[in-house]
Amino acid sequence: MKKYQTKPKQVEACQFTGDKESFDELRDWIGKDFYYDYQEQPRTFLKNSMGDIGIKEGFWIVKQFDLEGGFEYIVMRDDQFQNKYEEVK
């Protein structure tokens, strides 16, 4: 059986730290699909093809590109992000 590994690729990402500065940075980057909901319990959300995803402090938003040149924002916990990506210097 042959073995395979993923090809290296670069992504754009930003970590939500829970403060206003972090929210504003992500809102400027993503646009109206990153929003704050004040109903019952205030929460921050990202709208993508999977629906509205709740964002907690420490989560990463990753812009993933597809083969057709489009992209989608996905959400990753910090441990998932740290295991998969390293900063490009």
Q: What is the rounded average pLDDT of the residues 65-81?
A: 90
Query: Nearest to residue 35, comparing CAs of 24, 25, 46?
Result: 46
- pLDDT: which is higher, 29 or 4: 29
The ranges assigned to domains in the chain are: 12-84
Digit-coded pLDDT (tens) for 5-62: 777 788 999 999 989 899 999 999 999 999 988 776 668 999 988 889 999 999 999 9
Contact by Cβ (8 Å): 76, 88: no
Cβ proximity of 53 and 46 under 8 Å: yes
Enter the pTM of the model.
Answer: 0.79
Predicted pLDDT at 80: 95
Q: What was the pLDDT predicted at 42? A: 66
Q: What is the strand order of the sheet 60-65 is part of?
A: 12-15, 60-65, 71-76
pLDDT of the residue at 40: 65
